[in-house]
A = this chain, B = another copy of it.
Amino acid sequence: MSRASRRQFIGASATTAAALALTRRSLAQDPLAAIRDEVRETHDEGVGRLQDWVRLPSIAAESRAMNEGCEYMMELARDAGFENVTRVDTKGHPSVFATLDAGAPRTVGLYFMSDVKQADPAEWSSPPFEARMVDKPGLGRVVMGRGAVNQKGPEAALLTALHAIRGAGGKVPVNLVLIAESEEEIGSPNFRDAVLKPEVRAALSKCMGIFMPSAAQDPDGGVTLSLGAKGVVELELVASGERWGRGPKKDVHSANRAWLDSPAFHLVQALNTLVTADGDPAIDGFADRARPVSAQEKAMLDEAVKRRSEATYKKMLSAEHWAHDLPFRPALERLMSAPTVNIEGLVAGYTGPGGKTMLPTRAVAKLDLRLVPDMTYDGAIRALRAHLDARGFEDVEVNPSGGYNPTSTSPDAAVIRAQVAVYERLGLDPLLWPRSAGSYPGCVFTDEPLKLPSGHFGLGHGSGAHAPDEYFVVESENPNVAGWDGAVMSYVEYLHELATIS
């Protein structure tokens, strides 16, 4: 059933609607209860909203369905009640800017991404773009598909919250400014430009803060409230006979290795200098500006280690040992505070089955570097370039494809305090977490000129971002983990809290 026909079906079920109306709480009696009823009644429609969205994957890395994804994002926003929904063209793929004027005193920003990571169907147990309902033992029923948790699931839950408020006859308690980009998964190369367009910047500057919908619960139900994120640089290192002036300038038979240098080994040698024997970053000056872990952050980590399960993390990651064989507490500290140099991919010469006796002229390493405050995107690239130059790798190309600075928000910001208040009211004791080890372009909001507090919020659980079998829990077996309705309601509660927090 399409989204439209599902809506018609629900609209046309007069008898069902009438029957339900008898048991519904009125908005005047108990606003949240009335909205909760509406969420429950429109459960299938809400989950369908997520499933349909997963079935239209926009993949920036492959320039796949970018216009369709933009149109779809605009339609989702309009359906949810946004009035001014416009496409923001950039040098790359477009963003969507939308506002919802509820006539409220306060305005809150929403940061969405409409794109997803690539997915290789061969690696999935359920087709990545079919968004099937799958039973996951111990978790319950999940929607499995690319983008289920990163980030369409939480975003669709937030949109469903807006539908539910309206459906229950209410009004959104704050004005909303939505900015949705479509290049998050390639490092948001043009998002800053979109955010700083005069009309977008003007709208965002009225916001008390901004947040991205997120499934904050781990598989045990614990909630983590992140106060920032590492920055990231995505780049390709390229060694080639053409640039090196050594080895062949085209692929040749590998017999010639005896008298020709190998650009692929040149790349290996360059890569080898980027990490210590233990695999830690060894790029000169890379982490000079890395801020030491503060006493407040250490206290958060001390709390975290008591409340998080090392075994759960290891199981989720299929890992036996942390780097350096660290115990859990220092490993957690590294997760939050260590800059990293990672190989995302290696490509050179013949990559198919078996072998091929060739001497390739070109070799590529896809890297990501993660940055902590006060490291910067530009500084990391400069350090890498200088490091390679100092070691005779002047010819090795450093081709950044995207990324951004780290981002931090104070725990005292209203958007953060409102999160804590909601979680606590729902009986959860959120864990304050200094910094996500992953990245999001929050710096676009937290850096000059906007300097907005920025965060992630939302109940629910999912996993598998950037990996096969990504999922988002819809019917939860664990009472401590929110399913779809709980995730939706968490946004309803948060918006109300933002409207009133002092």
Complex-state Cα separation, A232 to B268, whole angstroms: 22
User: Does chain B have a CB within 8 A of A402?
Assistant: yes
A304, chain B: closest CB distance, angstroms: 13
Which chain B residue shows the least CB distance to A321?
B246
Task: Decide yes or no whether A406 CB sits under 8 A from chain B.
Answer: no
B370 touches A319 (CB 8 A): no
Task: Return A279 CB to nearest CB of chain B, in Å.
Answer: 5
Classify the secondary structure of A's interface with B. Answer: mixed
B248–A318 touching, CB < 8 Å:
yes
Evaluate contact between B255 and A437: CB separation under 8 angstroms: yes
Which one, A46-54, A170-178, A340-348, is touching chain B?
A: A340-348
Cα distance, A259 to B319, chains bound together (Å) = 10
B334–A345 touching, CB < 8 Å: no
Give A246's nearest chain B residue, CB to CB.
B321
Give the most central of A185, A247, A331: most B CB within 10 Å: A247
B260 near A271 with CB under 8 A, answer no
Interface window among A212-220, A349-357, A451-459, A485-493? A349-357
Q: Are A355 and B234 in contact (CB under 8 A)?
A: yes
Q: Is the CB of A269 within 8 A of B258?
A: no
How far apart are A100's CB and chain B's nearest CB, in angstroms? 32
Looking at A106-114, A194-202, A460-468, the stretch in contact with chain B turns out to be A460-468
Q: Knowing A262-B343, A356-B366, say if A253 contacts B350 (CB, 8 Å).
A: no
Confirm or deny: A65 has a beta carbon within 8 angstroms of a beta carbon on chain B: no
A298-328 vs B, Cβ < 8 Å mask (1 yes, 0 no): 0000000000000000000111111100100
| A335 is an interface residue with CB less than 8 A from chain B | yes
B230 pairs with A255, CB closer than 8 A: yes
Q: Which listed residue (B259, B261, B268, B279) contacts A335, Cβ 8 A? A: B259
Measured between alpha carbons, how far is A251 from B61 in the docked complex, in Å? 18
Q: How far is the CB of A501 from chain B (nearest CB, A)?
A: 30
In the assembly, what is the distance between CA of A255 and CA of B229, in Å?
10
Chain A, 367-393, contact with B by CB distance < 8 Å: what is the 0/1 string? 010100000000000000000000000
Q: Is A349 touching B370 in the complex (CB atoms < 8 A)?
A: no
* Chain B residues whose CB sits within 8 angstroms of the CB of A355 once the complex forms: 61, 186-187, 234-236, 344-345, 366, 368, 401-402
A62 interface contact, C-beta 8 A: yes
| Least CB distance, A235 to chain B, in whole angstroms | 8
Contact A349 B346 (CB under 8 A): yes
Enumerate chain B residues within 8 angstroms of A348, measured Cβ to Cβ: 343, 345-346
A265 close to B279 (CB less than 8 A): yes
Our pick among B246, B264, B347 for the contact of A351 (Cβ within 8 Å) is B347
Q: Are A62 and B264 also in contact (CB < 8 A) when A254-B368, A342-B254, A439-B255 are? A: no
> Is A436 an interface residue, CB under 8 A from the partner?
yes
How many whole Å from A324's CB to the nearest CB in chain B? 9
Question: A395-407 toward B: CB 8 Å interface, digit per residue (1/0)?
Answer: 0000001100000
**A277-308 residues at the B interface, CB under 8 angstroms:** 277, 279
Interchain residue pairs with CB less than 8 A apart (28) = A60-B354, A61-B354, A62-B353, A241-B318, A241-B319, A245-B320, A246-B320, A249-B319, A252-B319, A252-B466, A253-B467, A255-B370, A257-B341, A257-B342, A258-B323, A258-B370, A258-B437, A259-B326, A268-B268, A343-B349, A344-B349, A344-B350, A344-B355, A344-B357, A345-B355, A345-B356, A345-B358, A350-B366
